Amino acid sequence: MVLKVRNESGNTPRPSRWGVDSETGVLRDLLVGPIDNYRWSPGNAVAERTERLGLKFDFDAIKQQYAEMISAYQTAGVDVHILEAEEGLPYQVYARDSSVMTPWGAIIMQLQKPYRRGEYASVLRFYLENEIPVFDMVSAGNVEGGDFMVLKPGVAICGYSGERSIKPAVDQIAGWFEKEGWEFHQYAFDAHFLHLDVQMGMIANDLAVVCVEAVEPALIEWLRGHGIRAISISYGEAMTMGTNIVALGDDRVLIPAAGKRLIEVCRAEGLQVFDPDVSLIAAGGGSVHCMCQALRRDPQ
């Protein structure tokens, strides 16, 4: 298999089976990180808050919550693929960050934290062994998948704080997308928020959840300019992973059980909500969106 399929001049062919052109098309195949070696590690505001509150790590309960999440996806008709677990990678469960999917195949990302850098190897092996095209591999510095979203056909966004994701690496990905004729929006934010998906997430076509008090007004205006309506949640909800959700497509969404108000709002919008409890996993700094990477969605 060819390691890189990206055409330097653009017009890269799209694979017949794999790829996504939005965050909201019907989800068919999903890559999820393994829970086997998970443990809470310091390095973000959520995990540090968990330590301050004295919450106890209960691996048996965490495994039960993980199984509940996998079952929810399967009930929704999603084919779930789980990365092979490797020792020494406590945050490998967060498969969002080591790679991202595009319309042309996967991009292998670079992770910032030393205890996460080895995650690239298992995800690269996964793509090669399953003959899933690799669009390209980031080489200009660290950038993590939690900052990246293919919002809708022709439009992508990537945030950067100068820590988990840095601008030179985001610029590199932007160049690749722009050669394919896409709009690629870059959004700078405070490192306190870890990743963009702690501040916003797509619920359904042209509907997002956004921590309006955390993001810059210009981002709201940019979303509105692309026809995306924002449901607002509070800063407190955002810091407990309130925007960390997964659109399933066809007016369905997966929201952690802790997001009670957002669940009520989405049901009032006429959406079907799947709501697994992942609170003990989220206490380590990432929730359902962080744990997965879409491999295939129906085109929009």
- pLDDT in the model for residue 192: 87
| Cα atoms in the 13 Å half-sphere on the side-chain side of 72 | 25
Domains along the sequence of the chain with CATH: 27-297 (3.75.10.10)
pTM score: 0.95
Contact 210, 233 (CB under 8 A): yes
E strand segments, 3-64: 27-32
Predicted confidence (pLDDT) at residue 263 exceeds the cutoff of 70: yes
Cα(233)–Cα(216) distance, integer angstroms:
14
Q: How far apart are CA 177 and CA 114, in angstroms?
A: 28
Q: Which one, of 17, 222, 41, 221, lies nearest residue 130 by Cα?
A: 17
At position 68, the amino acid (one-letter code) is: E
Nearest Cα to Cα of residue 186 among 215, 156, 213, 211: 156
Q: Is the pLDDT of residue 1 over 70?
A: no
Cα–Cα distance measured from residue 265 to residue 232, given in angstroms and rounded to the nearest whole number: 10
Q: Residue 169: enclosing H or E segment and its boundaries?
A: helix 167-179
Q: What is the pLDDT of residues 113-133, one digit of tens each?
A: 999 999 999 999 999 999 999
User: Parallel, antiparallel, or unpaired for β 79-82 and 99-102?
Assistant: unpaired
The pLDDT tens digits for 60-113 are 999 999 999 999 999 999 999 999 999 999 999 999 999 999 999 999 999 999
The answer for residues whose C-beta is within 8 angstroms of residue 122's C-beta and 6 or more apart is 83, 84, 86, 89, 92, 98
> How far apart, in Å, do the first and last CA atoms of the chain sit?
28
Collapsing DSSP states into helix, strand and coil, what is residue 265? Answer: helix
For 197-230, the pLDDT digits (tens) are 999 999 999 999 999 999 999 999 999 999 999 9
Q: How confident is the model at residue 2 (pLDDT cuts 50, 70, 90)?
A: low
Cα distance between residue 179 and residue 242, in whole Å:
34
- Is a pLDDT exceeding 70 seen at residue 50? no
Instruction: For residue 210, count other CB atoms closer than 10 A to its CB.
Output: 21
Model confidence pLDDT, tens digit, residues 160-206: 999 999 999 999 999 999 999 999 999 999 998 889 999 999 999 99
Asked whether 210 and 157 are in contact (CB, 8 A), the reply is no
Residue 37 token pair: 């070696």
Paired sense of beta strands 292-297 and 27-32, if any: antiparallel
Instruction: Using DSSP, state whether 176 is helix, strand or coil.
Output: helix
